[in-house]
Amino acid sequence: MVDHQYLFIDFEFTMPERSVKYKGFYPEIIEVGIVAVRGNQVYEEYSSYVLPERFPILSERCKSFLGISQEQVDAGIPFAELVKKFEDITADSKKNTIVTWGNMDMKVFRNSCQKGSYSFPLKGQEIDLSMEYKRFFGDQNQTGLWKAVEEYGKEGVGKHHRALDDALTTYHIFKLVEKDKRYLKKHEPTTIGDRVDFSKLFNNLA
């Protein structure tokens, strides 16, 4: 049994054509990337296409934007298998922290579980790293994942809008932000009390 596991997760979702209204449409997961980290080491990387249950035919806009083909998604795992994967990957850890860039990933996953009558398999603290990043750097607007990497003078892993590459990039930013937080904690500005030896000062004044 592991004490603490971090799961860095990225999903790609379906999207409708701009001009077409699909009755009852909601985004569904078509690709998943998971990076499981235990004891500051990558324990597992997982990547798969996922077959949507409600709207299985991808829109042209979705295929073009994500560079994902209908054939790739058709060969993906069923959504039920994705739910089972998360149950398995969290089964032997006492505590799980789920980290995503933005809050849409968990919203879409929760909604899909609800629509398909699946129990939501992830229990633990959820961190929206884009909001952490925004608070930490005082940005007015939420920054895109790969723009955040570039601001660090780094490059993203692989290709943007590939689920596992984005999950790995999220993990890299998380490490950079945590390192900066630790640095700032060590180097907090000194107070006047730290800089002035009051006992000597009072002796001089006495």
- 26-57 burial by CB neighbour count: b if 16+ within 10 A, else e? bbbbbbbbbbbbeeeeeeeebbbbbbbeebee
Asked about 161 being catalytic, the answer comes back as yes
Asked about 17 being catalytic, the answer comes back as no
Catalytic residue among 87, 151, 161, 172: 161
The secondary structure of 171-193 as a DSSP string is HHHHHHHHHHHHHHHHTPPPPHH
| 158 in Cβ contact with 164 (< 8 Å) | yes
Spatial separation of the C-alpha atoms in residues 63 and 53, rounded to whole Å: 17
Tokens read off for 179? 């390192």
Catalytic residue among 4, 12, 172, 178: 12
| 114 in Cβ contact with 22 (< 8 Å) | no
Active site residue ranges: 12, 161
